[in-house]
Chains A and B, each alone.
Chain A
Amino acid sequence: QSALTQPASVSGSPGQSITISCTGTSSDVGGYNYVSWYQQHPGKAPKLMIYDVSNRPSGVSNRFSGSKSGNTASLTISGLQAEDEADYYCSSYTRSTTLIVFGTGTKVAVL
């Protein structure tokens, strides 16, 4: 099972909006509405930001939103803030024997 494909890096200025893509196949992202997004600061555990494509857990800022079209899921961060600088990983349920696959990860830089 190959990792989902994410851009290595995305950057933006404070206040701007950025979008991170997560591309898979019809066996994972495209086949199920079970995509999650995680934020990870250096040396820290990941934090769940979005689950089931577009749902935000309690306590997560509404500046974070998720969507999906075909085999590609997206995470949008609006009103970019310095604290958003981190690595972001998508994950998806997959039809393969390995039930969960993560994305390659995207480093978000706030310029």
Chain B
Amino acid sequence: QGQLVQSGAEVKKPGASVRVSCKASGYSFSSYGITWVRQAPGQGLEWMGWIISYNGDTKYAQKFQGRVTMTTDTSTRTAYMELRSLRSDDTAVYFCARVVGRNDDAFDIWGQGTMVAVSS
């Protein structure tokens, strides 16, 4: 069936960095990619990028290029998302999800979300 469990809520100051983890269980971690999606309070979903678990290849949304790094550790079945130079408008719930679909275009297993608050 599969499950993704994310790390806990974070509070950061503007300019800082945050790293969110996403631990997979119940499926072959290396056989699927992991994507990251965020949702600002009261707002819609925003795709940030994805990583191919077995080789670490990444694709980031243009908006986050240069500020985000996604990695995986296959030995611990864990994916990580680091966002740098945080601003107040980065305050959001960050979700990881497993990538499926004919073109790696759908996300079928989601983590519970990690709230990241950016405030001075």
- Taking Cβ atoms with an 8 Å cutoff, the residues of A that contact B are 1, 3, 32, 34, 36, 38, 40, 45-48, 51-52, 57, 89, 91-93, 96-105
Contact = CB atoms under 8 A, between A and B. Distances in A.
Contacts of A48: 106-108
* Interface of B, helix, strand, loop or mixed by DSSP: strand
B27 interface: no
Interface size class of B (residues with CB under 8 A): 20 to 34
B101 to A, nearest CB: 5
B44 A52 contact: no
Contact of B101 (A38, A45, A52, A104): A52
A45 B106 contact: no
Contacts of B97: 45-46
Contacts of B101: 34, 36, 51-52
Contacts of B107: 36, 38, 46, 48
Interface of B: 35, 37, 44-47, 50, 59, 61-63, 95, 97, 100-103, 105-108, 110-113
A45 B96 CA distance: 10
Contacts of A104: 44
B45 A38 contact: yes
The 9 closest A-B pairs by CB, nearest first: A51-B106, A45-B110, A34-B105, A100-B47, A98-B61, A36-B106, A102-B45, A93-B105, A105-B44
Contacts of B106: 34, 36, 48, 51-52, 91
A97 B65 CA distance: 10
B102 A34 contact: yes
Given A40-B45, A100-B105, 10 more contacts: A36-B101, A46-B95, A46-B97, A48-B107, A51-B101, A52-B105, A98-B47, A100-B61, A102-B44, A102-B46
A47 B37 CA distance: 13
